[in-house]
Structure 1
Amino acid sequence: MIEQPDARSQMSGHRVHEGVALVATVRNEESTIHAFLDGLSRQTVHPQEIVVVDGGSTDRTVAEMQAWRPTCGCRVRVIVEPGAGIAAGRNAAIAATPMGWIAVTDAGTELRGDWLEQITEPLSRADPPDVVSGFFEPAGGTFAQRAIAATITPTAAEIRPESFMPSSRSVLFSRDAWMRAGGYPEWLDYCEDLVFDFALRDSGARFEFQPKAIVGWIGRPNLRAFAKQYFRYARGDGKAGLFPRRHVARYVAYSYALASLLLITKLPVLFLVGCGGFAVYMIRPEQRVLARRARFTRGELVRAVLLAPVIVITGDLAKMAGYPMGRVWRRNRSDGPTA
């Protein structure tokens, strides 16, 4: 473990939220770590402690973390755990801090300057919730990153606060709630945060949606990387036994699309119905892109609108490939949860 000195004399002029630790996991984040650290430095309110677990980086991620000195003067711990997955890394980071409240984010994000202030705002109440669900918006420097993220990221208007399950890109919870839920599920490599959310809910934790606690989520740099990401997400769904009806509906829809193409000359009405169905299916992704038009130049916006169906189809096909692999893993796993 690499620990920076607790330079509290540097705190002058900085607001520190006592009792709050910010935790994150990293692995080979050299290309994004500076944006992440800059976001930490810009916070209007700082955590009392920052704990980062590195899962075995082979680039300069750890060196960059070691060299960083937060302007707030809060203590920073960098724990190196080669081979640790995201869930194990988060659990290790939480276990390493005595703080009663845990703010969780990812190194591949861009924190808005008031993120920690907003996500800890409910803690000022006499009876705060157990979990504060933050939100996330698309980010990224290249057109592909912005187009992919804008297409697949829900807008705040789509969220139903009473049922929203937070991503661990942007969430705060009490140590007690984490312990009651049994921590992040280390048997999962992806979708671990969603399974943790369900465990929190099932343990009786009270959630509150805080849409102003925003982090920027950087989309994948190209369609190939995006497909790989969604393949892993769907495989995680399969491993955890999540959303079977949603995945079955996807297979049914694409089976219909394939059949309508094969029978286009004999039953053209099937193809027309399929086109209408796909047009309805694309309304929400296109609305997401248009709602974020300010992120694009005029020419880029046209390209993003045209690219949105390709992004959606790519993601769907990747999910259809990944989900059954997760289900096979789940069926063959003798020491884990079963459906």
Structure 2
Amino acid sequence: MLHRYKQYPSPAFNMISLVSTVLNDRKGVSIFLKEMEMQSHHPDEIVIVDGGSIDGTWEFLVSYAANGLLPLKYYLEVGCNVARGRNIAIEKSNFNSDIIVSTDIGCQWESKWLEELIAPLELDRTVDYVVGSWAVKPEYIQTAWAKTEFILRGRHIFQATPDAQGTSRSIAYRKAVWQAVGGYPEDLTLAADDNVFILLLQKYGYKAAAAPIVRCYWHRFDYLKQYLKEEKRNFYGLGEAFLARKNFVVVGGRLLTEFLCILGSFLILADSPWLYYGLTTLLIFACSIIHRIFRFLPKATSLADLDVKFPLIRLLIFEYLAKIVGISSYILGLLHGIKHCRNCRVRIYQNPKAHGTELSTTITPTPKSL
């Protein structure tokens, strides 16, 4: 039977704080707390920061804190971004907390998720952080566009290894490590803060472990518009932080080449010698498209097996729209970050030895409300 608070709290040196953020997701936060109640190992506290919900989420948190089964702290920070919300949650966690566990409300968790995620930290004091595994359950993929994204992105299975680039969807780390690297980068607008945070942990050589069994499941969208919005947000954040540069050059370069070839193909309407240039650019574009089609044929077969009509066309539409939105958003984020995300970029690219062996323990300044 689960009591109002944990009957046997963790030792002081291993006290566990589970942190997350929420905005207008009353159903999601309700599911989250119910599934945390079902965990084989309960956190000593849960800390949630609400970014200004108006759908009843805040009222639900207030009610659960008073009557729920797990100890819950809740804070309101209207307009804050995710990074700021995470930092506040950790700052407000119990002074004695040693282990911070981070996840995203809106996922689904098996009962052994928390137990297996924190096990390396509890068993080995030299481990600084643990990368958690996650996946997408195929049975929750219902719409044609959801199935298209599912097949196109490799069925979304992330099996963690110590050197993997995980996310804050499923990660645990020591509070001292979070403080040492300066917390999550709050100058990023909406996304990529967890990418930067884990990159900093790797950069400064903190010891990693992994929870290789998938216990956390990511919920996906139903409609193409939602996926494109996600793509826009994620690539804007990567651009602000100036990450994924190689991907930007390769993908952006190919898109630019195809666009220029389309424009150049109009030269076939002109007299020679421009006619030959037009035919050449048209041939290059055709080869690029044919290459994509052949690459997508196995995926189109898999998509057809899921009863999706016009699978190849859907794959091409999704691929091109996602890349166009992603690359354009990356450029906008890149330009915005030159002025507004200097702190984040300095933290990523400065040489640790240039400033001695000690790391900054100052959390990045709070940005203006969004």
Which TM bucket (shorter chain)? 0.7 to 0.9
- Counterpart residue type for residue 208 of structure 1: A
Matched with 1:112 is 110
Matched with 1:89 is 85
1-side partners of 2:192 and 2:149: how far apart?
Answer: 19
- Counterpart residue type for residue 169 of structure 2: R
- Counterpart residue type for residue 216 of structure 1: Y
1-side partners of 2:148 and 2:66: how far apart?
Answer: 32
138-147 or 100-109, larger mean C-alpha shift: 138-147
CA shift for structure 1 position 308: 3.6
Query: What are the ranges of 5 or more consecutive residues in structure 1 without an aligned counterpart?
Result: 1-6
**Would you say the 8 A contact 2:241–2:341 is kept in 1?**
no
Higher radius of gyration, 1 or 2: 2
TM-score by length of 2: 0.76
**Would you say the 8 A contact 2:65–2:73 is kept in 1?**
no
CA shift for structure 1 position 15: 9.2
Matched with 2:330 is 323
- Counterpart residue type for residue 218 of structure 1: H
2-side partners of 1:244 and 1:254: how far apart?
Answer: 15
2:292 to 259, 278, 283: 278
TM-score by length of 1: 0.82
Cα deviation code 1:257-284 (max 9, x no counterpart): 3344453972464244213432465489
Structure-2 change in CA distance of 1:111 and 1:324 (3 Å):
same
**Would you say the 8 A contact 2:4–2:70 is kept in 1?**
no
SS at match of 1:225: helix
Equivalent pairs, count: 324
**Would you say the 8 A contact 2:160–2:166 is kept in 1?**
no
**Would you say the 8 A contact 2:297–2:312 is kept in 1?**
no
Two-structure CA RMSD over aligned residues (Å): 3.4
Matched with 2:128 is 130
**Would you say the 8 A contact 1:220–1:226 is kept in 2?**
yes
SS at match of 2:136: strand
Could you tell me the percent identity over the aligned residues?
Answer: 21
Matched with 2:181 is 181
**Would you say the 8 A contact 2:130–2:173 is kept in 1?**
yes
166-175 or 269-278, larger mean C-alpha shift: 269-278
CA shift for structure 1 position 92: 0.7
Cα deviation code 1:274-311 (max 9, x no counterpart): 13432465489x39x95xx9xxx954466777634333
Q: Answer yes or no: is 1:152 the counterpart of 2:153.
A: yes
- Counterpart residue type for residue 115 of structure 2: E
Structure-2 change in CA distance of 1:84 and 1:256 (3 Å):
same
CA shift for structure 1 position 324: 1.0
Structure whose residues are more often strand by fraction: 1
Structure-2 change in CA distance of 1:162 and 1:56 (3 Å):
same
Matched with 2:195 is 194
Q: Answer yes or no: is 1:311 the counterpart of 2:298.
A: no
**Would you say the 8 A contact 2:133–2:159 is kept in 1?**
no
CA shift for structure 1 position 145: 4.2
Matched with 2:100 is 102
Structure-2 change in CA distance of 1:45 and 1:331 (3 Å):
same
Matched with 1:244 is 245
Structure-2 change in CA distance of 1:95 and 1:332 (3 Å):
closer
Query: What are the ranges of 5 or more consecutive residues in structure 2 without an aligned counterpart?
Result: 269-278, 350-370
CA shift for structure 1 position 69: 6.8
SS at match of 1:101: strand
CA shift for structure 1 position 209: 2.6
**Would you say the 8 A contact 1:20–1:47 is kept in 2?**
yes
